[in-house]
Each structure stands twice: as structure tokens, then as C-alpha cells.
Amino acid sequence: MPRTPLAFLSPADQERLRALRRMKAIAVGALVFMAVVFVIAFWLQQRQPWLGYVRAAAEGGMVGGLADWFAVTALFRRPLGLPIPHTAIIPNRKDEIGRTLGEFVETNFLAAEVVRTKLTQTAIAQRAGEWLRQPSHAERVAAEGSTIAIAVLNALSDDDVRDLITDLAREHLVDPEWGPPAGAWLEKIVEADAHHGAVDLAADSISTWLDTNGEAFAGLISRRLPSWVPKLAHRFVDETVYHEAVKFVHAVQADPQHPARLAIDGYLGRLADNLQNDPATRAKLENAKASLFDSPRVGALATEAWNTAKAGLLKSLADPASGLRARAAQAVQEVGERLTTDAALQKRVDTWVSDAAVFLVDRYRHDIASIITDTVERWDPAETTEKIELMVGRDLQYIRLNGTVVGALAGLAIFTIAHAVIPGV
């Protein structure tokens, strides 16, 4: 019997233990019944000869029951505690059983062809799609994904993230030289006249500002005139400057070939060329870039941006009614719908899953099977015996019961044949 107290077993193991005890009691009861019948028949067979047949049946039943009791018991322990060879097989050969079981699983269940055949016969993508397209399932996936994402975000060190962002920014933004690619990009813009829209926008913005902020020119120039100049002249100068500025901007707006526009075209063309070919211009750009990224303020802004983004994500992920969770659930449903209806996508997903599973099995099947071997090796021999007996012991008790019945029938048959064949018996 397993030595583990009933209270420490799982509910399933408790039920197995109760069933094992019931079957043991039945098997023992059958053996005791045969023994009682044998004693009574042996005692009375001189007076009632027909009881000889009963005695032979009971005798055969006892022999069969005892033989099967010995065989079943020898699997798990030494019968009656006697050091009989080839008994207590499971505790004595525990490690070998574990290795054999691991090899059996590796050879017969983790073979590439077995896995591929099984997966090929299973519509994985379609089944997954039918499950994911259900709103409740999609919400569950979104909820579980949010829980995982929250755990990951909380586990991340803000300092590590900041250092990672800094390293990535330096690798991909700071270290590469900006001049040649920026010059090439600007050259293409100028050649395509794509910058004209920006010039038009700037001119329109300046014109709008001038039209609504004429008073800003009051004193802009006149305050720099000598104090002996009359006030009337001050006003005249300011108004003249304002009107000339308005006329200039309107002229730029109206004339696509205005000298100011051409000057901007020429400047941008020269800047594009210098960024690509002039070491001094490229050096200035690199110095400005380095100053910008090395500025403590930029680092503080990056840290603040990460903290804000993290806090926002945590809040949205934790709220079942947030837009992020709703969109995630909707996206999962859409994926499920496509997996259900798109045959081409189903085929690609099924092929990908099969290939991935076969790859993992081919590469790691020995490691997977070794889990069985290692686990069994770590088990205590008595614990191993109890676990296995709980799993198969009830069925083995049927062997004892069957042995008792078959032994009785065999004993009766042998006794009957002997009386019929051998004279004088």
C-alpha cells in the first residue's frame, strides 16, 4: 500500500488510493474464500466424494491467487519482506525504468514524422481561428496578454531602458554621419522642387502675421533713430518699413520666380552640395548633433518620455474598458476571422507550425525526453513505487482476482481429467 498519508495526496490520487484498497480487499477476500472452501471440502470429502472436485477447484484457486499475489507484489516490494531474487523490481530498477521510458517516448512520440503526420491531420489554423473569433475568447487573450505586458513593464528597470534607448540612439543616430545622407536627401528635394510648398507655407504664414500684427512695427526701427529726429519722422519710418515688408511678402507669394525664391533655391542647392562634399559644413553639423544629443536636457526629456509612456501603457493595460484593450481584442477577433476564412493563410500557418514543431523535435527531442529520465532519477525509490502503484495497482489487483478464478477452473479441469483418464483415481 502507498505510505503517503491520504491528506497529502491530490484529489485524483486519493480516489485512486481508495480504488486500489477496494480491489486489494476483493482480491484478498477471494483468496480467503478459496482457503475456507478448501478446508471445508478437504475435511468432508471422505464423506461426500463429490467434494473432491470442490477441493481441487479451491486448491487451484489458492495456488493461482498466491502465485499472482507474489508476481504483483514482487513488482513493488519484497513479498513478506524476504530477500527473494528478482523482487522489488520497480524500486531496484527505478533509474533504468526512467531511462527506458524516456527512450521510448523519444523514439515513438518525438519522431519528426510522427509529429508532422499528427499536425498535418489537425486543422490547427482553422481551429485556432474559430476559437479566437469568439468575442469572449478574444477578450480573454487580450486580458492575458495585458497581464503579461504589465508584468514585463513592471519588471523592466527604468535605468536599463534608458541606457538601452541611449545606446540605440547613439548606435543608429549619433555615431553615423548625417552630412552626406542629409545632403543627398536635400538635393533630391531641391531637384524635385518639393521645397516650394514649404516656401509657400512660410510666405503665407508671414503674410498672415503681418496683416494682423502691424502694431508690432511701431518703434521697431524708429527707436534706433537719434532723439533729435521729429516724432512724425519716427512714425513715417515705421510705417514705411511695415508696408515694404508687406509688399515684399506679397510679391514673393505672387511670383514663382521672385529673386527671394531663387535665392532660397540657390542656398538649398549649395547647402546640399556642402553637406555632401564640404568637410567644414559636415563638421559643423556633426558638432551640432553631438551637442544636441549630449545635452542633459535631451536625456531628461527622453527619461520623462519613457516614464510617461510607461505610466500610460500600464494604465491602459490594466483597464478592461480602455481603448487599447478594446482594440487588442478587436485585432484578435480579426485574426481569428481571417484564420477561419482564408484558406491560403490557413495553409501558411499550418505549414509554419508543422515546420517549427518538427524543427524543435529534431533539435531538442533528447532534451525533452531527458526530463522524464531526470525526474524519475530524482524520485525516491519508495516514492516511485507509490506513484506507479497508485496509477496501475488497481488494474493489477484484477490479475490477482483473475488468477484466483482461473486457478480454480484449472484445478477443477485437471482433477476432472485425471479422474476420467487415469484408472483407479
Q: Tell me how far apart the alpha carbons of residues 76 and 88 are, in angstroms, rounded to a whole number.
A: 5
- Which sign, positive or negative, has the C-alpha torsion 382, 385, 388, 394? negative
User: With contact defined as beta carbons under 8 Å apart, do 416 and 108 qualify?
Assistant: no
Calculate the dihedral angle through the C-alpha atoms of 47, 51, 52, 55, rounding to the nearest 10 degrees: -120
Which residues make Cβ contacts (< 8 Å) with residue 17, sequence separation at least 6? 2, 6, 9, 390
Q: Tell me how far apart the alpha carbons of residues 348 and 338 are, in angstroms, rounded to a whole number.
A: 12
Question: How far, in Å, are 170, 174, 210, 272 from residue 177 at the CA level?
Answer: 11, 7, 40, 14
What pLDDT is recorded for position 224?
58
Three-state helix/strand/coil letters over 233-292: HHHHHHHHHHHHHHHHHHHHHHCCCCHHHHHHHHHHHHHHHHHHHCHHHHHHHHHHHHHH
- Exposed (0-12), middle (13-18) or buried (19+): which is 402, by Cβ within 10 Å? middle
CA angle at residue 120 from 119 to 125, to 5 degrees?
75
Q: Tell me how far apart the alpha carbons of residues 249 and 214 are, in angstroms, rounded to a whole number.
A: 14
3 state DSSP class of 221: coil
What pLDDT is recorded for position 2?
47
Q: Tell me how far apart the alpha carbons of residues 244 and 251 are, in angstroms, rounded to a whole number.
A: 10
Look up residue 65 and give its three cell numbers: 491467487
- Exposed (0-12), middle (13-18) or buried (19+): which is 315, by Cβ within 10 Å? exposed
What is the DSSP secondary-structure string of 349-391? HHHHHHHHHHHHHHHHHHHHHHHHHHHHHHS-HHHHHHHHHHH
pLDDT in single tens digits along all 425 residues of the chain: 445 544 457 788 788 888 888 988 999 999 999 999 999 999 998 888 889 899 999 999 999 999 989 988 888 888 878 888 888 788 888 888 888 888 888 888 888 888 888 888 888 889 999 999 999 999 999 999 999 999 988 888 877 877 777 777 777 777 788 888 888 988 898 888 888 888 888 888 988 887 887 776 666 555 655 555 565 565 666 677 778 888 888 888 888 888 888 898 888 888 888 888 888 888 888 888 777 777 676 667 777 887 888 888 889 989 988 898 999 999 999 999 999 988 899 899 999 999 998 888 888 888 888 888 888 788 778 877 888 888 888 888 888 889 899 999 998 999 899 888 886 55
Question: How far, in Å, are 51, 52, 53, 56, 416 from residue 422 at the CA level?
Answer: 19, 16, 15, 16, 10
What pLDDT is recorded for position 6?
46
Considering the entire predicted model, what is its pTM? 0.53
Look up residue 219 and give its three cell numbers: 518703434
What pLDDT is recorded for position 154?
87
Q: Which single residue is written with the C-alpha cell 479422474?
A: 419
What is the DSSP secondary-structure string of 133-189? TSHHHHHHHHHHHHHHHHHHHHHS-HHHHHHHHHHHHIIIIISS--HHHHHHHHHHH
Q: Terminal CA-to-CA distance of the chain, rounded, Å?
A: 44
Look up residue 276 and give its three cell numbers: 555632401
3 state DSSP class of 423: coil
What pLDDT is recorded for position 63?
93
User: With contact defined as beta carbons under 8 Å apart, do 49 and 425 qualify?
Assistant: no
3 state DSSP class of 318: helix
Q: Tell me how far apart the alpha carbons of residues 166 and 300 are, in angstroms, rounded to a whole number.
A: 11
